[in-house]
Amino acid sequence: MERTLDTVPVSEWGFFDESIPPIVIAGPCSAESELQMMMTAKGLHDFGIHVFRAGIWKPRTHPGSFEGAGVQGLKWLQKVKREYGMKICTEVASQKHVYECMKYGVDMVWIGARTTANPFLVQEIAEALQDTDIPVLVKNPVNPDLDLWVGALERLNRAGIRKLGVIHRGFSTTQKIPYRNLPGWQIAVELRTRYPEIPFFADPSHMGGSRKYLKELSQRAMDLGLDGLMIESHCDPSCALSDAAQQLVPADLKTLLESLVVRQKQTNDKEYNENIEQLRARIDVIDENLLMSLASRMEVSRKIGEFKKAHNIAIVQAARWEDILSDMIAKGRVYGLPEGFVTAVFNAIHDASVAEQNQILERE
């Protein structure tokens, strides 16, 4: 069931300068010392970053790794706010974290990927935040489960939190990939489509896991029309106590942001608008025809199902399917359609067809 969220637009949060997209949250992975926090904040503030992040309580894979500075770090965050007038934000993973943040004037919090995956904790955090008016950003859960992500937004919204945003940081995977986490952009696109009004950040730092991927991932986020970036920045990444390989010095972050090509979401250009409307109308007609073709195909497939049932024949004829698929791939190539695309489309069609025939077989 599709549920709506009752949210406040990011333009009313008073956090970001939206006139020069993307909107940016930057700061170190972890608050490590007053000097590190102040130097990093200065570097970022100098080129116009207004929203500063730093992890105070760090969820680490192994015990014994640096687990954050705790309350001491909140005092440093407070100093960043006082000296540079920046908005300050950190990750909360429990009710206690929320109460500590409130004591120290934290302006915004985010829920980390490991916490979003746990509805009990999200509920606890939502209740602790109930009487505050601070924005809450929800990172995707570690596993690629869109509903779990949406469920966390719903829990917060039901607790009366209306300044909601999301951060896409990719998903844990056992696949061998160059990045630290699997981008899984299609899940982000699906969420954006469902809730276009919610500010959408990408976190290329945790997605990439290495400085060398930050630019391509940030550009991809812009190409997909996402609103902002949360990026880790450290005054001296080589000494960072967590995520050293993915943090950028502020000057390099400035260069990266300046290099991004941010496409407009809309234009007043009459010629463009007229042409795009015509092209979209053509696509709509083609999509409808595709649907009709799929429906006719399914109709024939049902007849085949009935026929197989009457003659006691097995549904899946693997050899026949392999022949059809390789034939389609060859024909698709002539039409300039990539093999992976043709394979995915026809496998989906075949799977649906087999499922339909199975139902026929199971019917008395």
Burial class of residue 149 in the structure, from the number of CB atoms within 10 Å of its CB (0-12 exposed, 13-18 middle, 19+ buried) = buried
Smallest CA-to-CA distance from 116 within 177, 180, 29, 203 is with 203
CB of 141 vs ligand PEP, minimal distance in Å: 10
Q: Which of 81, 87, 97, 139 binds ligand PEP (CB under 6 A)?
A: 139
**Quick one: which segment of 7-15, 26-34, 290-298, 355-363 binds Mn ion (CB under 5 A)?**
26-34
Asked if 73 interacts with ligand PEP (CB under 6 A), we say no
Per-residue interface string for the shown chain with Mn ion, residues 215-244, x marking contact by CB under 5 A: ----------------------------x-
Neighbouring-strand partners of residue 111? 92, 138
**Quick one: which segment of 22-30, 93-101, 106-114, 356-364 binds Mn ion (CB under 5 A)?**
22-30
What lies within 8 Å, CB to CB, of 343 at 6+ separation is: 325, 329
Torsion of CA 296, 302, 306, 311, to 10 degrees: 90
Nearer to ligand PEP, 43 or 141 (CB): 141
Size of the site for ligand PEP (CB under 6 A): 10
Nearer to Mn ion, 23 or 207 (CB): 207
Asked if 240 interacts with ligand PEP (CB under 6 A), we say no
Cis peptide bond prior to 9, omega within 30° of 0: no
Nearer to Mn ion, 179 or 321 (CB): 179
Nearer to ligand PEP, 122 or 342 (CB): 122
In whole angstroms, what is the distance from residue 251 CA to residue 34 CA?
20
- Judge whether 149 and 191 are in contact, CB under 8 Å: yes
Per-residue interface string for the shown chain with ligand PEP, residues 286-325, x marking contact by CB under 6 A: ----------------------------------------
Smallest CA-to-CA distance from 45 within 66, 24, 63, 20 is with 24
Asked if 112 interacts with ligand PEP (CB under 6 A), we say yes
Asked if 126 interacts with Mn ion (CB under 5 A), we say no
Centre a 10 Å sphere on the Cβ of residue 8 and count the other Cβ atoms it contains: 14
| Site residues, ligand PEP (CB under 6 A) | 29, 55, 59, 91, 112-113, 139, 169, 203, 206
